[in-house]
Amino acid sequence: MDEKADIGLIGLAVMGENLALNMADKGWRVAVHNRSLDKVDAFLRDRAHNKPIIKARSLSEMVLQLAKPRKILLMVKAGAAVDDLLDRLIPLLGPEDIVIDGGNSHFSDSARRSLRLAEKGLLFVGAGISGGEEGALLGPSIMPGGHEEAWPEIEPVFSSIAARAADGSVCCAWLGSSGAGHFIKMVHNGIEYADMQLIAEAFDILRRLGGLDPEAISRIFSHWNQGDLSSYLLQITADILAKKEEGDGGMLVDSILDVAGEKGTGRWTAIAALDLGVPAGTIAEAVFARAISARKAQRVKSHTLLPGPQPDTTNPPDKAQQDALVQDAFDALHGAKLVALAQGFALLQDANRQYGWDIDQAKVASIWRGGCIIRTAFLDRIASVFAERPELDNVLIDPAFHAPMAASQTGWRRTVAKAMQSGLPVPGLASALSWYDAYRSRCLPANLIQAQRDYFGAHRYERNDRPRGEFFHTRWTEIGHRDPPNPSDSEEDR
């Protein structure tokens, strides 16, 4: 009888193919299947030639090819495709077999699928995988969560293919029950949206306020990437800005339409933050920034209609002014990037408390240090802080971040003020700064909001001079007065 395969993989698009090759290179025997079988044939003929990768013509054939307990990794489009496959796989599997969804599924779908498989005595793992095509082949960051009994079975395979951080530690760890893995991957992507937006704004400032060309900005970003701001996204941005068009020698970035796409995970992060009441405005602003970019025709029209300043690109600053602007932009990116990371971790902290997942934030920071798109030098410090203080509400409270936040202040504020005065949109940098100022404000004008709510809806308010939980109502006018509702009533505005 043929040797059994160690793992099955379904879905041979960019991620699936590269993960299968990565596993085979680590010595695992992989059975592969794809809905369109011609892709399996092409893969085995070409990239998988002479590797320990075998073809499964059908799901039932794959099940026969696998050693028990069977481990099957789904790498298909998130959504209905995963449920379709589960419908067909579940009747073929036996007790303690394991299905791993490695796609970008929504965490609530993973929680639902965990229950569904548990009812059949099967184990389900929702594993976020980050690193794109290259990471899948050379070492991604892997974020598994779900039925923990599956972990000893899949750990050897996952640990062997995952990235290594600079200190050699594996960028894969068991992260919690139910939908925890996919929630963490979703937040990873939310932070990714914010980081990309912040870098794009820094580029815009250097270009349109600093009069610098893409090649000069590429050199600046490469230089920034040597220090505290070092990150994968900054490094690839430096590469992108240095890329010339084939033929005419113009910069490729200038030919790319300014309309950003999205596949939903940033939006889901913003929605999760809204649902849990976590202030994560910089992540949400990054999603909205893509939405406004997509309204290209409206922007072109309003450009000529709506009054306001435009950056003066005809009169670039002198060298000294340019150097000062570059330093300020560095400070702005530095401060805002820390805020975006802090917002993401605060969202994880609140979700963890809400859903009881038992997420270890230090582990999350640690496995994000290699292989994934948001890998950055800051994550070392974040991992150390959470290792010492796992219950911290917000990582910026730790003294490790006071000096960097103090150092960023002045340049960050100057950058945002200058951009706003010049009519240059900086929603990420500005919202991060406002979040920072609100988070360190002893008093906010929310007292007035409570008064307004009480005025029009008898929603009642608490007082500074009375214990929390004691509610008051004022008869603001004589018209339309009614008794205030119980404070636990619906918060819907009336």
- Please, what is the minimum distance in Å from the beta carbon of residue 78 to ligand NBP? 4
Instruction: Using the minimum distance from each CB to ligand NBP, give the nearer residue, 59 or 294.
Output: 59
Q: Does residue number 78 form part of the binding site for ligand NBP (CB under 6 A)?
A: yes
Helix (H) or strand (E) holding 16: helix 14-25
Nearer to ligand NBP, 36 or 315 (CB): 36
Binding ligand NBP (rule: CB under 6 A), the pick from 65, 104, 141, 431 is 104
Q: Which is nearer to ligand NBP, 125 or 212 (CB)?
A: 125
Burial pattern 21-32, b for ≥16 Cβ within 10 A else e, equals: bbbbeeebbbbb
Nearer to ligand NBP, 14 or 405 (CB): 14
- Our CB check for ligand NBP shows the closer of 113 and 460 to be 113
Whole-Å CA distances, 82 to 6, 158, 353, 460: 21, 20, 28, 47
The H helix count followed by the E strand count for the chain is: 19, 7
Token couple for 230: 């070092």
Please identify, among the stretches 69-77, 148-156, 271-279, 358-366, the one whose residues bind ligand NBP according to the rule CB under 6 A: 69-77
Distance of closest approach, residue 59 Cβ to ligand NBP, in angstroms: 10
Rounded to whole angstroms, the Cα distance separating 136 from 18 reads: 5
CB 443 within 8 Å of CB 459? no
Query: How do 98-101 and 123-130 pair as beta strands?
Result: parallel
What the block records as the tokens of 250 is 């113009």
In this structure, are residues 395 and 409 in contact, taking their beta carbons and an 8 Å threshold? no
Given the complex with ligand NBP, which of 44 and 387 has the nearer CB atom?
A: 44
Residues 6+ apart with CB under 8 A from 431: 281, 282, 284, 285
The window from 76-84, 337-345, 435-443, 456-464 that contacts ligand NBP (CB under 6 A) reads 76-84
Per rule CB under 6 A, is residue 132 in the interface with ligand NBP?
A: yes
Which of 17, 71, 153, 185 is catalytic? The answer is 185
Amino acid code (one letter) for 328: D
Q: Which segment (12-20, 224-232, 415-423, 463-471) binds ligand NBP by CB under 6 A?
A: 12-20
By C-beta, is 36 or 304 nearer to ligand NBP? 36
Task: Please give the structure tokens belonging to residue 95.
Answer: 């007790």
Site membership for ligand NBP, residue 264 (CB under 6 A): no
Q: For residue 59, state whether it binds ligand NBP (rule: CB under 6 A).
A: no
197 close to 286: Cβ distance less than 8 angstroms? yes
* 181 lies in the binding site for ligand NBP (CB under 6 A): no
Q: Minimum distance between the CB of residue 145 and ligand NBP, rounded to whole angstroms?
A: 15
**Distance, CA of 152 to CA of 331 (rounded, Å):** 44
Considering only the stretches 31-39, 191-199, 293-301, 452-460, report the one whose residues sit in contact with ligand NBP under the rule CB under 6 A. Answer: 31-39
CB nearer to ligand NBP: give 14 or 138.
Answer: 14
Q: Which is nearer to ligand NBP, 146 or 210 (CB)?
A: 146
CB distance 136 to 18 below 8 Å: yes
Interface residue with ligand NBP, options 12, 191, 287, 341 (CB under 6 A):
12
16 binds ligand NBP (CB under 6 A): yes
Is residue 172 within 8 A of residue 159, CB to CB? The reply is yes
Q: How far is CA 244 from CA 35, 163, 387, in A?
A: 39, 31, 44
Give the interface segment with ligand NBP, choosing from 1-9, 63-71, 77-85, 246-254 (CB under 6 A).
77-85
Q: Which pair of tokens denotes residue 161? A: 């293919």
CA dist., res. 204 & res. 219, Å (int): 15
CB of 130 to ligand NBP, least distance (A): 6
Q: Does 34 bind ligand NBP (CB under 6 A)?
A: yes
41 counts as binding ligand NBP under rule CB under 6 A: no
The number of residues that bind ligand NBP (CB under 6 A) is 23
Is there binding between residue 129 and ligand NBP (CB under 6 A)?
A: yes
Contact status: 90 vs ligand NBP (CB under 6 A): no
Contact 203, 217 (CB under 8 A): yes
87 part of the interface to ligand NBP, by CB under 6 A:
no
Distance of closest approach, residue 276 Cβ to ligand NBP, in angstroms: 23
Residue 192 known to be catalytic? yes
Ramachandran area for residue 33 (φ above 0: left; ψ -120 to 50: alpha; else beta) = beta
Give residue number: closest CB to ligand NBP. 103
The residues, ordered by sequence, that sit 6+ positions from 308 with a Cβ below 8 Å of its Cβ are: 423
Based on the residue annotation, tell me whether 363 is a catalytic residue of this protein.
no
**Nearest partner of 159 among 175, 142, 145, judged by Cα:** 142
Which amino acids are annotated catalytic?
185, 192
> Which residues make up the interface to ligand NBP (CB under 6 A)?
11-16, 34-36, 39, 75-78, 81, 84-85, 103-104, 129-130, 132-133
